[in-house]
Amino acid sequence: MCGIFGFAGFEDDALLRRMGQVIVHRGPDGEGSHTEPRFSMGMRRLSIIDLEGGGQPISNEDGSLIVCFNGEIYNYRELRDELVKLGHHFKTQCDTEVLVHSYEQWGADSLEHLNGMFAFALWNTRRSELFIARDRAGQKPLYYTQKGGRLLFASEAKSLLESEDVPRALNRQAVDPYLTLRYVPQPETLFEGIRVLPAGHFMRWREGELTIRRYWDVETPGGPYRSEAEDQQELEELFEDAVRLTMRSDVPFGAYLSAGIDSSLVVAAMARHTDRVKTFSIGFDSPIDETADARNLASRLGCDHHEIHAKPEDFERLPKAIWHLERPIGDVLILAYYLLAEVTRREVKVVLSGEGADESFAGYSFHKIIRWTEWAHKVVPGFLTRHVVAPAVANAPVDLLDKLFVYPAHLGKQGRKKTADYLRHFKRRSLNGNYIALKALFDLEERRGLYADGFRNAATEDWVRSDPEGGPFLDRLLKLQFDDWLQDNLLLRQDKNTMAHSLELRCPFLDHRIIELAFRMPARMKLRGLTDKFAERQLGKKFLPGENVQRSKNPFYFPLEYFHKSHAIQDLIRMCLDEERVRQRGLFDPKVVTQLKNKMETGEFIYLKQVMSLVILELWQMIFLDREKLW
């Protein structure tokens, strides 16, 4: 696990050093670089495998291929054995070296042989060609910017900002999707001119020309389907192997544990391969705290369990978490992950997580809601939905709606309105439009009202992607989520928060073999009646207590309704959303922002989340655009 960085088309030794120094947290154990005319690259190393011999860059036998690598190749031992039989000679025991020999043997097709998480840069000295690739699920980040035949790339955007040629400027077109989704969908970022190499893609740069290609995608075949027994057996075998591979390490490791089915399965599988698993959970000392459930399961599985509790005063550390995050996510839950990673790193250097299972096996409540709504529109005339059902929801007691939704916070009048609007306009929207409408933080009307006069035309739906083509309805919905929510929200916040503390995160459910299997399964293996993640729960019956198998997914969220009146949070709000500051920034109407702040007193979770998303955006601008030191 490392951080990589470099540039092509020009020379600047001082810049290369600065690019590495600003991301030293990603690799405090070592550094390395390769420089030649008009090309330089470097890395910071977090040593996990082959602690003594795994320094980078690493080259092939004749030095014609040189690689800097961020990530882990889990099947490196098997690949190494295969490559040795094909005549390749290795000088280390590390996973990095398989990359140069694999590329030497198979070229870009080598990516199909890799099982792991990665972003690597490979320089071909003979062709003066740069090859950069990112893993299938997007677990490891890669940013780049190009202009005038020059290319800069890095694991973190802050490395690119070390160049005087990269402006510290807001990508104004990205503000609208940020307010809607709470993140900016790749390949765009909030930085003007800085882009993301999308997951499952590679790029080539040669003589100032850049080309990008996709080498892997989630497919939605829609059958023919096998028997449930065959699917279940393969899932068990692949999951067991995925956990085994992700436990390969020369340093201590542990696991995040929430007591949900995903992390519980991971920890139970780990316990079958090692004596005593160290587990880590975070809570909030509030009525919705679920750390007791995680503690009980850890005890039953014989784990060495650790608990972290976030407190209101921890919000003083939000600016530092945003600095590490770089691509802001408009949800204060990022702070919880930052705190969890910090404490976990004191005990271990590698941590496993159940991340990624929901996106393949339909684990969110909105999967059910959208699917049920689609089914209902096939049997209920549209005019009844628009003129009877939607008005009924709009006038229903909010306490009743709270009971119908899994979300543990108070839905409130604004949440009721959004639900009614979702139902009223469902038929006229695309699948992606409905997916966005159901989870949008600010809808189109709210964004138009929020923007300042000179920015109001930024409110648009032009950035909404088209629907996936072909395949069953549920699989197309999951593919939408896989292509942005997973990569631009969940995995982003996990990578940046763990690496902020030099901690490596591994996700067995993101083994591409499991993802491909899940999308080959029929919908009934994912959603069956009121049961989500059916195949996972069937697997859990073999290895987990009954209450953990049956336990419904409780959304993991920061309970702002119990925190928002604290001094730490109120101080942040006053600093970031002061009327004069908002006016000078020029994005939002100061009076509308003030009205929104006043609505926080209702305790409705949507208003709380909206205000904090604006706070996070302003903190990001203060840190990266204004270069203010806030810690």
| Nearest 10 degrees: Cα torsion 404, 405, 411, 416 | -60
Structural contact between residues 535 and 231, judged by C-beta atoms closer than 8 angstroms: yes
Architecture of the 2-171+189-214 domain:
4-Layer Sandwich (3.60)
Residue 358, C-beta contacts closer than 8 angstroms, at least 6 positions apart: 262, 364, 533, 553
Q: Which amino acid is at 339?
A: L
The helix/strand/coil state of 105 is helix
Mutual angle of helices 431-439 and 412-424, in 10-degree steps:
170
Same fold, 2-171+189-214 and 218-557: no
The reported pLDDT for the residue numbered 627 is 96
Helices (H) and strands (E) in the chain, counts: 28, 17
The one-letter amino acid at 423: L
Q: 482 to each of 66, 428, 467, 522, 524, how far by Cα in Å?
A: 32, 24, 13, 17, 19
Cβ proximity of 56 and 120 under 8 Å:
no
Contact of 358 with 364, CB cutoff 8 Å: yes
Question: Residues with Cβ < 8 Å from 127, sequence gap 6 or more?
Answer: 206
Calculate the CA dihedral of residues 173, 444, 367, 416 and round it to 10 degrees: 150
Closest CA relative to residue 396, chosen from 384, 412, 407, 385: 412
Low-confidence stretches of the chain (pLDDT < 70) are 1, 50, 53, 377-417, 420, 553-555
- DSSP code string of 329-378: -S-THHHHHHHHHHHHHTT-SEEE--TTHHHHHT-SHHHHHHHHHHHHHH
Bridge partners for 480 per DSSP? none
Backbone angles phi, psi at 142, to 5 degrees: -150, 120
**Rounded-to-integer distance, Cα 468 and Cα 42, Å:** 38
The whole-angstrom separation of Cα 492 and Cα 138 is 9
**Cα–Cα distance between 398 and 592 in angstroms, integer?**
25
Angle between helices 365-379 and 431-439 (to 10 degrees): 130
Which residues are 65's β-sheet partners? 124
d(CA 110, CA 101): 9
Do β-strands 143-147 and 278-283 pair in parallel, antiparallel, or remain unpaired?
unpaired
Give the DSSP letter of residue 183. Answer: S
Name residue 354's amino acid: G
Euclidean distance between CA atoms 23 and 588, whole angstroms: 33
Question: The tokens of 125 are what?
Answer: 């000295």
Residue type at 266 in one-letter notation: V
Residues in CB range of 372: below 8 A, 6 or more apart: none
End-to-end CA distance of the chain: 27
Helix (H, G, I), strand (E, B) or coil at 132: strand
- Please say whether the beta carbons of 536 and 261 come within 8 A: yes
Cα–Cα distance measured from residue 69 to residue 505, given in angstroms and rounded to the nearest whole number? 16
Tokens of 604: 């409705």
Cis peptide before 312 (omega within 30 of 0): no
Sign of CA dihedral 362, 368, 373, 376: positive
Contact between 254 and 515 under an 8 Å Cβ cutoff? The reply is no
Per the structure block, which two tokens stand in for 325? 């995050």
Beta-carbon contacts of residue 216 (< 8 Å; ≥ 6 apart): 111, 112, 136, 200, 512
Instruction: Specify the residue for token string 């996070």.
Output: 616
State residue 400's pLDDT score. 47
Q: How far is CA 227 from CA 231, 240, 324, in A?
A: 7, 20, 46
Strands 304-309 and 278-283: parallel
DSSP letter for 316, please. G
Element (H, E) at 193: none
Question: Is residue 2 annotated as a catalytic residue, yes or no?
Answer: yes
- The active-site residue out of 2, 94, 303, 576 is 2
**Residue 600 and residue 71: Cα distance in Å, rounded?**
41
Per-residue model confidence (pLDDT) at position 579: 96
- Distance (Å, whole) CA 357 – CA 60: 36
**C-beta neighbour count of 392 within 10 angstroms:** 11
- DSSP tag of 464: P
Torsion over CA: 286, 287, 291, 295 (sign)? positive
Alpha-carbon distances of 625 from 208, 286, 352, 612, rounded to whole Å: 28, 36, 35, 19
Closest-CA residue to 327 (of 477, 202, 466, 491): 491
Domain residues of the chain, as ranges? 2-171+189-214, 218-557, 560-625
Q: Specify the pLDDT at position 563.
A: 86
For the domain made up of 218-557, the CATH class stated in words is alpha beta
User: Would you state the structure tokens that stand for residue 339, as one six-digit string?
Assistant: 């705190």
Q: And the tokens for 150?
A: 């020059």
Cβ 194 vs Cβ 145: under 8 Å: yes
